[in-house]
Every structure is written in C-alpha cells, then in structure tokens.
Structure 1
Amino acid sequence: MASPQDWVTQDWDPTTWTDETWPIAACLHGFAQVTREGTAFHDAPAEVWDDVFAQIAAAGFSLAELADSHIRPADLERSRRDELFAIAAAHGIGIPSVHLQRKSVIQPGHEEDNLAYAHRTIDAAAEWGMQVFSTGLHQPFTEAQRKALWFWTAPGPKDPDDPEVWDAAVKRLRELGEHAASVGLPMALELYEDTYLGTADSAVRLVEEIGLDTVGLNADVANLIRLHRPVEDWRELFAKTLPYTNYLHVKNYTRDEAGDGSWATSAPSTMETGLINYRQVLRDAVADGFRGIVMTEQYGGDSLGVCATNQQYIRSVLATSVVGATKQGATR
C-alpha cells in the first residue's frame, strides 16, 4: 500500500547519501504546543500547520521530526493526516520519524496505557510512510520541572533500582521493537537522565538485553551533559553508545563545573560552540558506519533558527568526512 509521502522516501538509500543529501530534520520545539487562541497544535486549523511548515522550509529544511508533544499520529483522523501531509508536501517537507516522549512503558500506574499508545503510534508511523520510531523511558515533568527556567535543573522522575521493573522494561520494549520491525521500522531509544537509558553502560545493557538488531539507541548525549551535577565524559558516552545508534538527536550546551564536583551549570548553545565537539563525533560516527537520520534540536531562543545554523554546520562537517570523500571519488 502506498504511503502518504512516498514522494519523500522513494530515494531513501543510505549508500548514496552525501553531505548535501544526508537526511537532517528540524524539531518542532520552537513552535507552541497551544496556539494563541488556546487550541492544541494537534487540533489546530490548517493555516496554523501551513505557517509552521512554511517557516521550516524557509529555514532550509526539507525534513521535520513529528514529536507527539505537537501531533499524535495515533490519534489523528485520516482526513487530518492527509491534510497535514498535503500542507507539508506543498512546502517540500517530509516527515521521516516520530518521537514518542514522556510515555514510559514503566511509568507507575500508566504502564499498559502507554504500551498500547506506543503500539498504535508504531502502526500510524508505518502507515504514514515514516522511517524511524523513536521513544524512550522519560516520564512527564514534575511540578518543579514545569516551574524551572530549564527543566533539567529540577528533579524529575527516576527509574527504580529494581530488577523486576528493569525486566518489565526489557520485555515491553522488546515487544514494541518486534512490532516495529514487523512493519519495517527500526526503533530508537533516547538517552535520558535518571532512566535506564541514563548512563552509557545502562543504555547499552538495555539494548543488548532487548536483543533485536532493529532496536538501537538515539544517542542524545546532550541530554546528559546539560545536568547541573557530575556527569559522564561526553567522549566516553559517545564511544560506548554510537555503535548501537540508529537515529540521532543533536544539540549542544556550554558547561562549566567546579573541579571538586561541588557545582555545575549549563546553557543551550549551537552545536559548534558547546561542550561536545560534534566535528569529532560526526566524523567518527560516519567513519564507523552510522547511516541514520540526524535531527536537530534546541531549547530556548529562536529554536528553529539555531537548528538551521546547526544544519549548515553538520553539512560542512560531512563535506570533509567519508561521505564527502566518497562523493568526490576519493577513498578513505
């Protein structure tokens, strides 16, 4: 059955990607989840969606990740889905991935509902012609996080040190991974603090215990280095997780900390100016075989504008990587 966006995916062959064609997507963080009139973005009129995709296209993007914070594919009526894709296509925008967030399959009291919602989202993603299903184990914000200037500076939910809960996470995520694989989708699990995906070793162990080749990591290391507390070295985080990475959220933060670990602070930055050296990360990832979508993120300020700057930076790095060398007929 043809998907609503076959026009986007017909040439989806990673072996042919170059620095100019590598799929780099924009996030929707810069757009309000509720319109000025009080309507949820999910239910917004066509002109609201049209304005958003027009801005994404004007910023130089041809792809956008659909986070369920803005639109829930599993809950969108077919007529509205078709309207969404028609609007996106009119601006030359494809939607290659969905990111399901804050619906952990081990969230106390919501395990079964969240699991069922994830299954419905996978079916929708496949029907919509997407290429990746991304999720994680992060839970809804606490009241303290909602009140904080930056949510990562306030305490959030924590996955328990409980073998039974760990085993439940493995079982349910394996179930989702099998479902996703059955409809042709890889599943990516996002690194996130205080979850079973909150350290490199724990994230790798989780993927290995799930035991499916189609389930990997979304190695969003920046989620961890922004914390105002001692953190793992970003080099070690990437070294351990990139071999398992099949989808990649990228953003960066400046970071300063005391030598004795007594304090730390961070703030959003461009990819080029933050703590993580993404020139090294991207070159190493591509050289070691990573062939996945890169999704640009940013919190605060002109999110879309920073993402556009980051896309230019990413392509400049790829131009001198293995991809660029291959395009020019050279060998590494």
Structure 2
Amino acid sequence: MKSIFIRPYTILICSPIFICAVVLISILYGTKDISAITVWEAIFHFDASNIDHQIIRTSRLPRAIAVILVGAFLAVAGAVMQGIARNYLASPSLMGVNDGSAFVITLVMVFFPGLPNYQMILLSMLGSALGASLVFGFGSFIRNGLSPVRLAIIGTVIGTFLSSVATAVAMYFQVSQTVSAWYNTKVHMVDLNMLFLSIPFGLFGLLLAIVSARAITITSLGEDTAISLGQKTKIIKLISMLSVVCLTGTAVALVGKIAFVGLVIPHITRFLVGVDYRFIIPCSAVIGAFFLGLCDLMSRYINFPYETPIGVVTSLVGIPFFLFLIRKFGGESRG
C-alpha cells in the first residue's frame, strides 16, 4: 500500500473545521434535539433553571470536549510508542498501558475512596507506567519477546491478567458497578472538574511529544543509526515514555479504557504525511480527535435511542486494521 502524501499543514488547517462540526452535532442532537440558539445561550447566558441549558453545560458539552481530547491524547501516545519502539503494533491498548491505568484506579477506588481528582490522574499515570513496564519487562526476558506480534501477545496476556485481578477485587469489595465504568468507558458521565484538571496534564504530555518529535524520528531509524547521529537514546526514550504515561493516564482517568485509537490513527497519519514525527505527532492529534468524535456520534445512533459503548465502535475499525497489519508485516519490526 503506497503512501498518499498530503501536506501536513493542509491537515492541521482543515481538521479543526471537521472537529468543530462533530462537536456541534454532538451538542445539538441526541435523545432530545436542541436548537443552536439554545446552545449559544447555554454557553454565554447560562440559566440554571433551564433544563436544556443544564443538559448542555453538564452533559453534552463536557462529553464532546472530553472525547476529542481523549482521541488526541491516545493517538499521540500510540504514535510516540510506535516511533520509539519501532513496533507497528505498539499502542496503549495492546501494550498494557490502558490496563495498568484502569487496574490502579480500581485499587484506589476500593482502598482509598474519595481521593481528589488530581490524585486520581497522577495514580492513573502511575498505572500506565506499571502496565508498560510489565509488558516490556517480560518481553525483554523472553526470546524475541520484543518482536511486534510477541509483544502484542504479552501485552494482551498481562492486560487480561490486570483486568481480571481488578474485576475480582471490585466484586469482592462490591464496587464492581462503579469500576465497570472505567472498563467500558464513561463518556456519557464525564466529570466536569476532572475534565478541567485533565487538560493541563494532557497538554503537558502533548508538549513533551512535540518537543521530542525530531528525536523520535531519528530513533525510529534504528538504535545504531540514532547513536551514530549523536542521539542520547535512553534520555529520549525516557522523555517519550513520560509523554505516553501522561497522555494515557489522563485519558483513562477521564473516560476509561478505549482501545485501538492509538494503533489505527498513527498508521493512517503516517500514510498521509510521511515518516517525520514533527508532522506525525500534531497530525495524529487532530485526526485522532476527529476520529473519536465521529465514533462517539456513531455510538449514539447505531441503536438509537440507546447508546452503544464507544469501545465497540472503535473495535469495529481497530480489529480488522490489527489483522491487516499482522497479515502485511507479519512478525517483523518496522525498518
């Protein structure tokens, strides 16, 4: 499949228009349609006694913003992982990063209920680091364990183990219904305070990724090549993984686990703009935001008036894409 090169600036200029359109549709339409005038009044002239204003301010607007942010965060996290690991299957959902976050959040909700939101975000990041460390640690001890397919299998096994332990703990302490929101996503019940707190953490992760973009491009050429060009690969990998931990931990703390965004979007972006991560990272962010916003709309209308979990929609795209990558690349690392 040959690349179709599109100027990155075209994507960066056009994508926000599509993102705004998706956000507007998400706010206007639902089980109850609301006029654009009412939306404008709810945002700029809020009336607490107006039910429509309450719906927009406390439900639809936070949901729409959260979805596009999470789409951007997960897409960039996947792009960074694929570049640093030189692994075309690297993504937060396949490498245990999402599962680590959800696992730690479960333990926190059971043993330390009522923690402030910012501590939840920090602990979710810690969980991301835990999940990634377990997967790459086990991969390092197994022969050819860092090859794409084997690392994906290890990530799936460890992710399943962490999810199973978390589920067992939640059931034992009778908080399984609360915890299930993080495993099945909770875009329909985004906490406004958590949303405001998540933005700085997520932007910090994006900033780290953008600052490291040129170095990630060099690292993606191979360890030996990067070292010969004077690259301090260990420092770059550390900064890059800190970016992934911030982005993924924030996303999971905000809406729960969403799979395949970090796998699919970086490949699509690379196909469109080439292999320079100075373009891949910002373009992944805007394409990921649009993609997840579109998936959220589809999840609401596939079985209208009932909602389909957004993870089901992303899986409908992600699973065939995953199988396509396996068929195309086999067990080879990206060169």
TM over 0.5: no
* Alignment TM-score, normalising by the size of structure 2: 0.27
| Higher normalized contact order (CA 8 Å, seq sep 6+, divided by chain length) | 2
Q: TM-score, normalised by structure 1?
A: 0.27
- Normalized per residue, the structure richer in strand is 1
More helix by share: 2
